[in-house]
Structure 1
Amino acid sequence: MVATACGTGGVGAPSTGSSPSSITMSTSPSPVPTSARAPDPALEIRDADGRTPLVVATKSRDTDSARRLILAGADVNAKDNLQDSAFLYAGAEGLDDILVLTLDHGADVNSTNRFGGTALIPAAEKGHPTTVQILIDAGVPLDHINDSGWTALLEAVVYGDGSPVYQEIVSRLLAAGADPGIRDAQGRTALQIAQQRGQADVARLLG
Protein backbone atom coordinates (compact mmCIF):
# COMPACT_ATOMS: atom_id res chain seq x y z
CA MET A 1 0.00 0.00 0.00
CA VAL A 2 1.35 3.45 -0.88
CA ALA A 3 0.37 6.51 1.12
CA THR A 4 0.97 9.85 -0.69
CA ALA A 5 1.45 13.12 1.15
CA CYS A 6 1.41 16.40 -0.83
CA GLY A 7 3.63 19.22 0.37
CA THR A 8 1.91 22.62 0.88
CA GLY A 9 2.96 26.02 2.04
CA GLY A 10 1.31 27.96 4.82
CA VAL A 11 -2.33 28.96 4.71
CA GLY A 12 -2.90 31.03 1.56
CA ALA A 13 0.69 30.55 0.45
CA PRO A 14 1.37 29.77 -3.18
CA SER A 15 2.37 26.31 -4.23
CA THR A 16 6.09 25.68 -4.21
CA GLY A 17 5.78 23.51 -7.27
CA SER A 18 7.65 20.66 -5.61
CA SER A 19 6.68 17.10 -6.52
CA PRO A 20 4.70 15.02 -4.01
CA SER A 21 6.65 12.86 -1.57
CA SER A 22 5.69 9.17 -1.23
CA ILE A 23 5.84 6.87 1.84
CA THR A 24 5.76 3.15 1.07
CA MET A 25 4.33 0.84 3.76
CA SER A 26 5.12 -2.87 3.59
CA THR A 27 2.22 -5.31 3.74
CA SER A 28 4.37 -8.44 4.24
CA PRO A 29 3.61 -10.31 7.51
CA SER A 30 5.94 -9.93 10.47
CA PRO A 31 8.02 -12.99 11.37
CA VAL A 32 6.53 -15.20 14.09
CA PRO A 33 8.41 -14.72 17.38
CA THR A 34 10.44 -17.74 18.44
CA SER A 35 8.45 -18.02 21.68
CA ALA A 36 5.22 -18.39 19.69
CA ARG A 37 6.46 -21.22 17.49
CA ALA A 38 5.57 -24.83 18.19
CA PRO A 39 8.29 -26.72 20.12
CA ASP A 40 10.65 -28.88 18.11
CA PRO A 41 9.21 -32.45 18.01
CA ALA A 42 12.74 -33.75 18.63
CA LEU A 43 12.42 -32.46 22.21
CA GLU A 44 9.94 -35.24 22.96
CA ILE A 45 11.66 -38.17 21.24
CA ARG A 46 11.84 -41.11 23.64
CA ASP A 47 14.47 -43.78 24.16
CA ALA A 48 13.86 -47.45 24.96
CA ASP A 49 13.09 -46.53 28.57
CA GLY A 50 10.53 -43.93 27.54
CA ARG A 51 12.82 -41.06 28.54
CA THR A 52 12.73 -37.74 26.73
CA PRO A 53 15.98 -35.77 26.38
CA LEU A 54 14.88 -33.63 29.33
CA VAL A 55 14.31 -36.64 31.57
CA VAL A 56 17.71 -38.01 30.54
CA ALA A 57 19.39 -34.69 31.32
CA THR A 58 17.62 -34.48 34.68
CA LYS A 59 18.53 -38.01 35.69
CA SER A 60 22.10 -37.27 34.62
CA ARG A 61 22.01 -34.18 36.86
CA ASP A 62 22.99 -32.10 33.84
CA THR A 63 21.53 -28.74 34.82
CA ASP A 64 22.83 -26.84 31.79
CA SER A 65 21.32 -29.27 29.30
CA ALA A 66 18.07 -29.41 31.25
CA ARG A 67 17.88 -25.62 31.21
CA ARG A 68 18.44 -25.44 27.45
CA LEU A 69 15.79 -28.08 26.81
CA ILE A 70 13.23 -26.44 29.09
CA LEU A 71 13.80 -23.02 27.55
CA ALA A 72 13.41 -24.61 24.11
CA GLY A 73 9.97 -25.87 25.12
CA ALA A 74 10.51 -29.41 26.41
CA ASP A 75 7.57 -30.85 28.36
CA VAL A 76 8.51 -30.79 32.05
CA ASN A 77 5.65 -33.19 32.86
CA ALA A 78 6.55 -35.92 30.34
CA LYS A 79 7.07 -39.20 32.20
CA ASP A 80 9.28 -42.15 31.35
CA ASN A 81 8.45 -45.82 31.82
CA LEU A 82 9.17 -45.49 35.55
CA GLN A 83 6.65 -42.64 35.79
CA ASP A 84 9.42 -40.13 36.47
CA SER A 85 9.13 -36.66 34.94
CA ALA A 86 11.82 -33.99 35.12
CA PHE A 87 9.73 -32.27 37.80
CA LEU A 88 9.12 -35.38 39.90
CA TYR A 89 12.72 -36.61 39.69
CA ALA A 90 14.22 -33.20 40.46
CA GLY A 91 11.97 -32.92 43.50
CA ALA A 92 12.79 -36.40 44.76
CA GLU A 93 16.53 -35.95 44.34
CA GLY A 94 16.87 -32.38 45.58
CA LEU A 95 17.94 -30.98 42.20
CA ASP A 96 16.68 -27.54 43.09
CA ASP A 97 17.94 -25.61 40.05
CA ILE A 98 16.15 -27.95 37.67
CA LEU A 99 13.14 -28.14 39.97
CA VAL A 100 12.65 -24.37 39.93
CA LEU A 101 12.97 -24.32 36.15
CA THR A 102 10.25 -26.97 35.81
CA LEU A 103 7.98 -25.03 38.16
CA ASP A 104 8.56 -21.87 36.15
CA HIS A 105 7.57 -23.72 32.98
CA GLY A 106 4.32 -25.43 33.88
CA ALA A 107 5.14 -28.33 36.19
CA ASP A 108 2.00 -30.08 37.43
CA VAL A 109 2.32 -29.85 41.22
CA ASN A 110 -0.37 -32.51 41.63
CA SER A 111 1.40 -35.13 39.51
CA THR A 112 2.39 -38.40 41.15
CA ASN A 113 5.15 -40.97 40.75
CA ARG A 114 4.95 -44.75 40.44
CA PHE A 115 4.42 -45.00 44.20
CA GLY A 116 1.40 -42.73 44.07
CA GLY A 117 3.26 -39.92 45.78
CA THR A 118 3.76 -36.26 44.95
CA ALA A 119 7.23 -34.75 44.59
CA LEU A 120 7.01 -33.54 48.20
CA ILE A 121 6.89 -37.02 49.72
CA PRO A 122 10.28 -38.33 48.49
CA ALA A 123 11.83 -34.91 49.06
CA ALA A 124 10.87 -35.24 52.73
CA GLU A 125 11.88 -38.90 52.85
CA LYS A 126 15.36 -38.28 51.41
CA GLY A 127 16.20 -35.31 53.60
CA HIS A 128 16.04 -32.28 51.29
CA PRO A 129 14.72 -29.40 53.43
CA THR A 130 15.28 -26.67 50.84
CA THR A 131 13.52 -28.75 48.21
CA VAL A 132 10.67 -29.37 50.63
CA GLN A 133 10.23 -25.62 51.08
CA ILE A 134 10.30 -24.98 47.33
CA LEU A 135 7.56 -27.56 46.83
CA ILE A 136 5.51 -26.22 49.74
CA ASP A 137 5.72 -22.72 48.29
CA ALA A 138 4.74 -24.07 44.86
CA GLY A 139 1.52 -25.49 46.28
CA VAL A 140 2.19 -29.22 46.25
CA PRO A 141 -0.53 -30.81 48.44
CA LEU A 142 0.79 -31.20 51.98
CA ASP A 143 -1.31 -34.15 53.09
CA HIS A 144 -1.39 -36.29 49.96
CA ILE A 145 -1.23 -39.98 50.91
CA ASN A 146 0.80 -42.32 48.69
CA ASP A 147 0.19 -45.99 47.95
CA SER A 148 2.01 -46.99 51.15
CA GLY A 149 -0.36 -44.89 53.22
CA TRP A 150 2.16 -42.18 54.06
CA THR A 151 2.19 -38.41 53.76
CA ALA A 152 5.34 -36.31 53.46
CA LEU A 153 5.29 -35.79 57.24
CA LEU A 154 4.95 -39.50 57.93
CA GLU A 155 7.77 -40.38 55.52
CA ALA A 156 10.06 -37.81 57.13
CA VAL A 157 9.66 -39.78 60.37
CA VAL A 158 9.48 -43.30 58.93
CA TYR A 159 12.59 -42.91 56.76
CA GLY A 160 14.31 -40.15 58.71
CA ASP A 161 16.76 -40.57 61.55
CA GLY A 162 15.63 -37.70 63.74
CA SER A 163 18.72 -35.67 62.86
CA PRO A 164 18.63 -31.85 62.51
CA VAL A 165 17.94 -32.19 58.78
CA TYR A 166 14.77 -34.18 59.43
CA GLN A 167 13.82 -31.93 62.31
CA GLU A 168 13.96 -29.01 59.89
CA ILE A 169 11.79 -30.86 57.38
CA VAL A 170 9.21 -31.72 60.03
CA SER A 171 9.22 -28.11 61.23
CA ARG A 172 8.71 -26.76 57.71
CA LEU A 173 5.85 -29.15 57.02
CA LEU A 174 4.13 -28.35 60.30
CA ALA A 175 4.59 -24.60 59.79
CA ALA A 176 2.96 -24.93 56.37
CA GLY A 177 -0.05 -26.70 57.88
CA ALA A 178 0.64 -30.41 57.40
CA ASP A 179 -1.74 -32.51 59.49
CA PRO A 180 0.13 -34.44 62.23
CA GLY A 181 -3.00 -36.41 63.06
CA ILE A 182 -3.05 -38.46 59.84
CA ARG A 183 -2.40 -42.14 60.60
CA ASP A 184 -0.52 -44.68 58.53
CA ALA A 185 -1.83 -48.10 57.47
CA GLN A 186 -1.01 -49.44 60.95
CA GLY A 187 -2.99 -46.66 62.60
CA ARG A 188 0.07 -44.75 63.86
CA THR A 189 0.53 -40.98 63.82
CA ALA A 190 3.87 -39.35 63.06
CA LEU A 191 4.29 -38.64 66.78
CA GLN A 192 3.76 -42.27 67.72
CA ILE A 193 6.26 -43.43 65.11
CA ALA A 194 8.83 -40.88 66.30
CA GLN A 195 8.39 -42.07 69.88
CA GLN A 196 8.72 -45.72 68.87
CA ARG A 197 11.93 -44.97 66.99
CA GLY A 198 13.52 -42.87 69.68
CA GLN A 199 13.40 -39.63 67.69
CA ALA A 200 12.97 -37.48 70.79
CA ASP A 201 13.59 -34.10 69.13
CA VAL A 202 11.16 -34.86 66.31
CA ALA A 203 8.61 -36.10 68.84
CA ARG A 204 8.85 -32.79 70.69
CA LEU A 205 8.08 -30.95 67.46
CA LEU A 206 5.06 -33.15 66.88
CA GLY A 207 3.83 -33.25 70.46
Structure 2
Amino acid sequence: MTDKSVVQAFLEAAAEGNIEALKKHLEQGVDINARNRQKRTAILTAAMNDKLEAVSFLVEAGADVDLQDETCFNPFLFGCINGKLELVKMMIKAGTNLELLTRFGGVGITPASEKGHVDIVRELVTTTDINVNHTNFVGWTPLIEAIILGDGGEKQQTIIRLLIEHGCNVHMVDKYGVTPLELARRKGYTEIENILLEAGAK
Protein backbone atom coordinates (compact mmCIF):
# COMPACT_ATOMS: atom_id res chain seq x y z
CA MET A 1 0.00 0.00 0.00
CA THR A 2 1.61 3.25 -1.10
CA ASP A 3 -1.18 5.79 -0.62
CA LYS A 4 0.53 8.99 0.55
CA SER A 5 -2.05 9.80 3.23
CA VAL A 6 -1.74 6.29 4.68
CA VAL A 7 2.06 6.54 4.72
CA GLN A 8 1.79 9.96 6.37
CA ALA A 9 -0.52 8.57 9.07
CA PHE A 10 1.87 5.65 9.63
CA LEU A 11 4.84 8.00 10.05
CA GLU A 12 2.85 10.27 12.37
CA ALA A 13 2.09 7.24 14.56
CA ALA A 14 5.84 6.53 14.63
CA ALA A 15 6.62 10.15 15.56
CA GLU A 16 4.14 9.92 18.43
CA GLY A 17 5.39 6.51 19.53
CA ASN A 18 1.87 5.15 19.14
CA ILE A 19 2.54 1.42 18.95
CA GLU A 20 -1.14 0.44 18.78
CA ALA A 21 -1.61 2.66 15.73
CA LEU A 22 1.57 1.25 14.15
CA LYS A 23 0.23 -2.29 14.68
CA LYS A 24 -3.09 -1.41 13.07
CA HIS A 25 -1.41 0.13 10.03
CA LEU A 26 0.77 -2.94 9.57
CA GLU A 27 -2.22 -5.26 9.94
CA GLN A 28 -3.92 -3.24 7.21
CA GLY A 29 -1.01 -3.89 4.88
CA VAL A 30 1.09 -0.74 5.12
CA ASP A 31 4.65 -1.33 3.94
CA ILE A 32 6.78 -1.15 7.11
CA ASN A 33 9.54 0.52 5.05
CA ALA A 34 7.25 3.06 3.34
CA ARG A 35 8.90 6.48 2.96
CA ASN A 36 7.71 10.06 2.71
CA ARG A 37 9.00 12.75 0.35
CA GLN A 38 12.16 13.12 2.41
CA LYS A 39 12.68 9.34 2.06
CA ARG A 40 12.13 9.01 5.82
CA THR A 41 10.87 5.68 7.15
CA ALA A 42 8.74 5.05 10.24
CA ILE A 43 11.67 3.65 12.21
CA LEU A 44 13.80 6.71 11.45
CA THR A 45 10.89 9.00 12.34
CA ALA A 46 10.45 7.20 15.67
CA ALA A 47 14.21 7.41 16.32
CA MET A 48 14.33 11.13 15.57
CA ASN A 49 11.52 11.73 18.05
CA ASP A 50 13.13 9.65 20.85
CA LYS A 51 10.33 7.06 20.71
CA LEU A 52 12.59 4.11 21.51
CA GLU A 53 9.74 1.71 22.32
CA ALA A 54 8.35 2.33 18.86
CA VAL A 55 11.84 1.84 17.40
CA SER A 56 12.10 -1.49 19.22
CA PHE A 57 8.64 -2.53 18.04
CA LEU A 58 9.49 -1.70 14.43
CA VAL A 59 12.80 -3.59 14.62
CA GLU A 60 10.92 -6.66 15.89
CA ALA A 61 8.32 -6.23 13.16
CA GLY A 62 11.05 -6.40 10.51
CA ALA A 63 11.79 -2.79 9.59
CA ASP A 64 14.91 -2.17 7.51
CA VAL A 65 17.17 -0.24 9.92
CA ASP A 66 19.60 0.78 7.18
CA LEU A 67 17.36 2.80 4.84
CA GLN A 68 18.66 6.37 4.70
CA ASP A 69 16.67 9.53 4.08
CA GLU A 70 17.66 12.27 1.65
CA THR A 71 20.12 13.71 4.20
CA CYS A 72 21.69 10.24 4.68
CA PHE A 73 20.18 9.75 8.15
CA ASN A 74 19.22 6.30 9.32
CA PRO A 75 18.56 5.52 13.01
CA PHE A 76 22.18 4.51 13.65
CA LEU A 77 23.80 7.54 12.01
CA PHE A 78 21.23 9.87 13.56
CA GLY A 79 22.12 8.39 16.97
CA CYS A 80 25.88 8.75 16.40
CA ILE A 81 25.56 12.37 15.31
CA ASN A 82 23.21 13.40 18.10
CA GLY A 83 24.66 11.47 21.04
CA LYS A 84 21.77 9.00 21.43
CA LEU A 85 23.57 6.10 23.14
CA GLU A 86 20.54 3.84 23.72
CA LEU A 87 19.47 4.23 20.11
CA VAL A 88 22.98 3.41 18.89
CA LYS A 89 23.05 0.30 21.10
CA MET A 90 19.68 -0.80 19.73
CA MET A 91 20.85 -0.40 16.16
CA ILE A 92 24.10 -2.30 16.78
CA LYS A 93 22.04 -5.13 18.27
CA ALA A 94 19.71 -4.99 15.24
CA GLY A 95 22.71 -5.56 12.95
CA THR A 96 22.91 -2.13 11.35
CA ASN A 97 25.42 -1.68 8.54
CA LEU A 98 28.40 0.09 10.11
CA GLU A 99 29.78 1.09 6.71
CA LEU A 100 26.93 3.38 5.65
CA LEU A 101 28.02 6.99 5.20
CA THR A 102 26.85 10.36 6.45
CA ARG A 103 26.35 13.10 3.87
CA PHE A 104 29.97 14.14 4.53
CA GLY A 105 31.24 10.63 3.83
CA GLY A 106 31.97 9.61 7.40
CA VAL A 107 30.94 6.42 9.17
CA GLY A 108 29.14 6.63 12.52
CA ILE A 109 32.29 7.03 14.59
CA THR A 110 33.35 10.06 12.53
CA PRO A 111 30.71 12.56 13.72
CA ALA A 112 30.66 10.97 17.18
CA SER A 113 34.41 11.71 17.49
CA GLU A 114 34.01 15.24 16.17
CA LYS A 115 31.12 16.11 18.47
CA GLY A 116 32.66 14.73 21.66
CA HIS A 117 30.18 11.88 22.19
CA VAL A 118 32.53 9.85 24.40
CA ASP A 119 29.98 7.16 25.35
CA ILE A 120 29.13 6.47 21.73
CA VAL A 121 32.76 6.30 20.63
CA ARG A 122 33.45 3.92 23.53
CA GLU A 123 30.47 1.76 22.57
CA LEU A 124 31.53 1.60 18.94
CA VAL A 125 35.18 0.76 19.54
CA THR A 126 34.46 -1.84 22.24
CA THR A 127 31.44 -3.65 20.78
CA THR A 128 31.81 -3.34 16.99
CA ASP A 129 34.48 -3.62 14.30
CA ILE A 130 33.74 -0.18 12.85
CA ASN A 131 36.64 1.25 10.87
CA VAL A 132 38.43 3.72 13.16
CA ASN A 133 40.65 4.77 10.24
CA HIS A 134 37.84 5.52 7.78
CA THR A 135 38.54 8.59 5.64
CA ASN A 136 35.62 10.89 4.77
CA PHE A 137 35.05 13.01 1.66
CA VAL A 138 37.47 15.73 2.79
CA GLY A 139 40.22 13.26 3.69
CA TRP A 140 39.74 13.26 7.45
CA THR A 141 39.85 10.25 9.76
CA PRO A 142 37.87 10.22 13.05
CA LEU A 143 41.13 11.19 14.79
CA ILE A 144 41.64 14.20 12.53
CA GLU A 145 37.97 15.20 12.96
CA ALA A 146 38.37 15.09 16.74
CA ILE A 147 41.41 17.38 16.51
CA ILE A 148 40.31 19.87 13.86
CA LEU A 149 36.65 20.25 14.82
CA GLY A 150 36.92 19.69 18.57
CA ASP A 151 37.85 22.15 21.30
CA GLY A 152 40.87 20.21 22.56
CA GLY A 153 39.13 19.56 25.88
CA GLU A 154 38.71 16.47 28.05
CA LYS A 155 36.02 14.84 25.91
CA GLN A 156 38.14 15.06 22.78
CA GLN A 157 41.21 13.87 24.69
CA THR A 158 39.29 10.84 25.95
CA ILE A 159 38.00 10.09 22.47
CA ILE A 160 41.50 10.32 20.98
CA ARG A 161 42.80 7.90 23.62
CA LEU A 162 39.94 5.49 22.84
CA LEU A 163 40.64 5.70 19.11
CA ILE A 164 44.36 5.03 19.67
CA GLU A 165 43.68 2.13 22.05
CA HIS A 166 41.47 0.52 19.41
CA GLY A 167 43.74 0.65 16.40
CA CYS A 168 43.60 4.17 15.08
CA ASN A 169 46.64 5.03 12.93
CA VAL A 170 48.21 8.20 14.33
CA HIS A 171 50.31 8.62 11.17
CA MET A 172 47.42 8.94 8.67
CA VAL A 173 47.64 12.44 7.20
CA ASP A 174 44.93 14.72 5.87
CA LYS A 175 44.55 15.33 2.11
CA TYR A 176 47.26 18.00 2.29
CA GLY A 177 49.74 15.59 3.86
CA VAL A 178 49.53 17.17 7.33
CA THR A 179 49.87 14.76 10.28
CA PRO A 180 47.50 14.65 13.26
CA LEU A 181 50.41 15.78 15.45
CA GLU A 182 51.03 18.86 13.33
CA LEU A 183 47.29 19.62 13.30
CA ALA A 184 47.18 19.44 17.11
CA ARG A 185 50.19 21.75 17.34
CA ARG A 186 48.60 24.27 14.98
CA LYS A 187 45.51 24.35 17.20
CA GLY A 188 47.62 24.72 20.33
CA TYR A 189 46.18 21.53 21.86
CA THR A 190 49.14 20.58 24.06
CA GLU A 191 47.35 17.73 25.87
CA ILE A 192 46.36 16.11 22.56
CA GLU A 193 49.87 16.66 21.24
CA ASN A 194 51.24 14.76 24.25
CA ILE A 195 48.73 11.90 23.80
CA LEU A 196 49.81 11.56 20.18
CA LEU A 197 53.50 11.68 21.06
CA GLU A 198 53.00 8.93 23.63
CA ALA A 199 51.36 6.85 20.87
CA GLY A 200 54.45 7.28 18.67
CA ALA A 201 53.17 10.04 16.40
CA LYS A 202 55.71 12.05 14.45
Range into which the TM-score falls when normalised by the shorter chain = 0.7 to 0.9
Rounded to whole Å, the distance in 1 between the matches of 2:43 and 2:37 is: 15
Q: What SS does the corresponding residue of 2:121 show, helix, strand or coil?
A: helix
Aligned positions of 1:15-94 closer than 5 A: 42-94=31-83
Q: What SS does the corresponding residue of 1:42 show, helix, strand or coil?
A: coil
Rounded to whole Å, the distance in 1 between the matches of 2:101 and 2:156 is: 22
Q: Which moved more, 1:168-177 or 1:40-49?
A: 40-49
Check whether the contact 1:67–1:98 (CA below 8 A) recurs between aligned residues: no
Q: Give 1:63 shift.
A: 2.1
Match of 1:194 among 154, 169, 184: 184
Q: What SS does the corresponding residue of 2:59 show, helix, strand or coil?
A: helix
Rounded to whole Å, the distance in 1 between the matches of 2:38 and 2:119 is: 30
> Does residue 183 of structure 2 align to residue 184 of structure 1?
no
Equivalence for 1:11: none
Q: Which amino acid aligns with 1:102?
A: M
Q: What SS does the corresponding residue of 2:47 show, helix, strand or coil?
A: helix
Rounded to whole Å, the distance in 1 between the matches of 2:173 and 2:152 is: 19
Write the deviation string for residues 89-126 of structure 1: whole angstroms up to 9, x where unpaired. 11222211111111111201111122111001000001
CA RMSD in angstroms comes to: 1.3
Q: Normalization by structure 2: what TM-score?
A: 0.79
Q: What SS does the corresponding residue of 1:80 show, helix, strand or coil?
A: coil
Unaligned ranges ≥5, structure 1: 1-39
Q: Which amino acid aligns with 1:148?
A: V
Rounded to whole Å, the distance in 1 between the matches of 2:37 and 2:105 is: 23
Check whether the contact 1:70–1:101 (CA below 8 A) recurs between aligned residues: no
Aligned positions of 1:69-148 closer than 5 A: 69-137=58-126, 138-148=128-138
Equivalence for 1:167: 157
Write the deviation string for residues 134-159 of structure 1: whole angstroms up to 9, x where unpaired. 11131110101000110100000011
Check whether the contact 1:142–1:152 (CA below 8 A) recurs between aligned residues: yes
Q: Which amino acid aligns with 1:134?
A: E
Rounded to whole Å, the distance in 1 between the matches of 2:98 and 2:33 is: 20
Check whether the contact 1:127–1:156 (CA below 8 A) recurs between aligned residues: yes
Q: Give 1:198 shift.
A: 0.8
Q: Which amino acid aligns with 2:180?
A: A
Runs of at least 4 residues off by over 6 Å:
none
Q: Give 1:46 shift.
A: 0.7
Q: Which amino acid aligns with 2:132?
A: L
Q: Which has the larger radius of gyration?
A: 1
Aligned residues: 168
Rounded to whole Å, the distance in 1 between the matches of 2:56 and 2:82 is: 17
Rounded to whole Å, the distance in 1 between the matches of 2:101 and 2:78 is: 11
